[in-house]
Amino acid sequence: MATEAAAGRLTGFGGVPERLTETLAAERERLALWLPVAFGGGVGFYFSLAQEPAAWLAPVVTLLSLALAVGSREYLAPTVLAVALAAAALGFATVQWRSQLVAAPVIERRIGPVAIEARVVAVEIRVEGRRLLLDRLRIEGLETAKTPDRVRLTTRRAAEGLKAGDGVALRGILLPPPAPAAPGAYDFQRQAWFDRLGGVGFVLGEIERRQTETDPTWRERLSAARQAMVERTLAALPGAAGAIAAALLTGEQGAIPPAALEAMRDSGLAHLLSISGLHIGLVAGIVFFAVRGALALIPFVALRWPIKKWAAVAAFAAITFYMLFASPGVPTQRAWLMTSVVLFAILIDRTAITMRLVAWAAAVVLALKPESLLGPSFQMSFAAVVALIAVWEATRERFILARSGAGVMRRAWLGLVGVGLTTLVAGFASAPYALYHFNRFAAFGVVANLIAVPVTSLWVMPWAVLAFPLYLVGLEDYALVPMGWGVEAILAVARLVAGWGGAVALFPAMPVWGLAALSLGGLWLCLWRTRWRLAGLPLILLGLISIATERTPDVLVSGDARLVAVRGADGLLQLSAGRAGRMTRDTWLRRAGQENAAVWPSSGTSEDGRLSCDGAGCLYKTAGHTVAIVRESSALAEDCRVASVVVALIPVRRNCPSAQVVIDRFALWREGGHAVWLEDNGRVRVETVRASRGQRPWVAPVPAPRRPAERP
């Protein structure tokens, strides 16, 4: 009654307040679902800022918003908005607090070759060699206050017998975590900051094992056991099948050959390699029904005790072990949380598969690791689950009615339809995030999943569950060999589908605002139940259309000046070198929606006539602009008189009267990679990596110039 009376006082504005209040009242049960969304919105807003805000700001806004909510409690709409603002401010405060909590020293510049002593935290088996995560570091010539907490080094050697918990002495080269390859590209430096990873690099020569003063922690013991399982799996199943089996058992994907990984990705089956809801749910289901079935064979137990609840406890123990053992990522954590609640619901005789369950799983993940919001794992995992539950809510009654009284064949058909619908919904829900992060869409993913998911569910994962106890007695081959047959079948499907014409569609980078619009539209469509949910469709469409609003830069320059790209007449990038800066090259091409790129002519003119090169540099002409790419200082005098943009891979110590923009070695050193757009109106727009990231804790300061003796 109080709400109705308050709504009656909100007159005017064409009756909008009354209609808003009525709609919110009808959706009252769904309002709580938006609290994690608002919390995540605050997290996202924090990362969008160019400057680090004052630490007191978010807590103050949280308290003021809560006070406003209490003061306006008679008015439903203002109360809802105030609570949402409080949740957003709380998310902002949480991620800001965490960014300060994880602060640790970061390598400022290349160091080495240098002597390093450390303890091994984890050993990841790669296709070539190993990747080591090290802590408790002592680095020659580096004072303790500037020594990182953790570094990650790669070695091409097998490093036989090396495991987590071991002490090591080695020589290596250390580098700062790399900055983004282009403005708006993936920021590994930010992720490294939250992982307390202060440097990367590689090992030179042999690794000497040493005794440590302390016993391995339980995490290190788990890591060592995980590594041993990967090695034994690869020994039992050589090749790609063994590497994929190891990924399903441990979550470690480093040993999967690139060709197999590409086939799984291009066929839409890459999600099977990441331990997520499918895998956790299958482990829970297999253990639950196996334990319940075994206990049901004992009449004395089955008739006197709640074997269903005992089976739920056994399933919970199994998925908890699986989650901890498999080096849990965000999808694994989310799946464990949700499945645990479902199993707990069995213990208290309740039903738990609801949208509220997803909301609270998201809230827990964001509260513990708010930075995960920016990663593809969080976005794709939760998008798929939210969409699946929304479809289940809409079709549940019809599905239950169709199954009631159905025979074996009808149930099998309904099961096949369910797999297809699940694949279709999850695929389309996660596809926009795959477009944003990976710039590709697997066109025939539904077809591949219709075959691969049943094989995974009915054959591969049951053998995987059996493999765990068999490892303890050295009989794992009896489970791994038949498991490998199923993995080979999945690989065959992946290779077949990936080889079809048009299996993969490439797209240019989606802008951040497009992803935000698409996410809000999807949530609006899935979380509400009344007809106003349809207002989410235009937002989804706007997000998809946003891809067409982005134009590939006309010129790209890497921060280390090793690689330059220009846009040809066909809209595709052409590169200055075919092999230099492989990671930068791959990032540029991926964000441009390209698989491959032509390499500049060493001398002469490109096919489209835009680019002409000689030994001293190149001239690139388009849209009435002339861009000079200078390699030798001898070309500067002439280029500075004719070019509107000068890109010098050397320092420029003279005036360039014709140039609107001069990008030289000093600018690249200060600002990182550059992207240049040449406008038809004669203007030049430039974005830099440093300007796009702002001044944040994870953005490394401009390094001091090297002394002459230190120059390579």
pLDDT on residue 579: 67
Per residue in 658-680, pLDDT tens? 888 999 989 999 999 999 999 88
pLDDT tops 90 at residue 367: yes
User: Does the reported pTM lie above 0.85?
Assistant: yes
Per residue in 344-359, pLDDT tens? 888 877 766 688 888 9
pLDDT on residue 708: 42
30/560 Cα distance (integer angstroms) = 51
State the angle between helix axes of 376-403 and 330-347 in degrees (0 to 180), rounded to the nearest 10: 40
pLDDT tops 50 at residue 610: yes
Cβ atoms 562, 581 nearer than 8 A: yes
pLDDT tops 50 at residue 8: no
Cβ atoms 270, 516 nearer than 8 A: no
pLDDT tops 50 at residue 57: yes
Mean pLDDT of 449-473: 92
Per residue in 383-419, pLDDT tens? 988 999 998 888 877 777 777 777 677 777 777 777 7
For the CA atoms of 57, 62, 63, 69, the dihedral, rounded to the nearest 10 degrees, stands at: 140
Q: Which is nearest to 145 in space by CA: 178, 108, 191, 182? A: 108
Query: Residue 248 gets which letter from DSSP?
Result: H
Question: Average pLDDT, whole number, for the chain?
Answer: 88
155/201 Cα distance (integer angstroms) = 9
Share of the chain above pLDDT 90, in %: 54
Helix or strand (DSSP H, E) at 687: strand 684-688
615/603 Cα distance (integer angstroms) = 7
pLDDT tops 50 at residue 2: no
Q: Which is nearest to 445 in space by CA: 361, 502, 520? A: 502
Number of separate helices (H) and strands (E) present in the chain: 25, 19
Cβ-based neighbours of 368, under 8 Å, separated by 6 or more: none
Q: How confident is the model at residue 248 (pLDDT cuts 50, 70, 90)?
A: very high
Per residue in 145-156, pLDDT tens? 999 999 999 998
Per residue in 689-711, pLDDT tens? 999 999 999 998 876 555 443 33
230/237 Cα distance (integer angstroms) = 10
Per residue in 564-594, pLDDT tens? 999 999 989 999 876 667 899 999 999 999 9
pLDDT on residue 710: 39
Cβ atoms 161, 183 nearer than 8 A: no
299/305 Cα distance (integer angstroms) = 10
Per residue in 191-227, pLDDT tens? 999 999 999 999 998 899 888 777 888 888 888 899 9
Q: How confident is the model at residue 72 (pLDDT cuts 50, 70, 90)?
A: confident
Cβ atoms 328, 320 nearer than 8 A: no
pLDDT on residue 703: 63
Comparing 37-46, 310-319, 614-623, 696-705, which segment has the lowest mean pLDDT? 696-705
> Measured between alpha carbons, how far is residue 68 from residues 39, 41, 71, 387, 415 in Å?
18, 19, 5, 33, 50
Per residue in 271-313, pLDDT tens? 889 888 888 989 999 999 999 999 998 888 888 888 989 999 9
139/172 Cα distance (integer angstroms) = 10
Mean pLDDT of 363-382: 92
pLDDT on residue 514: 95
Cβ-based neighbours of 208, under 8 Å, separated by 6 or more: 168, 169, 170
pLDDT on residue 262: 93
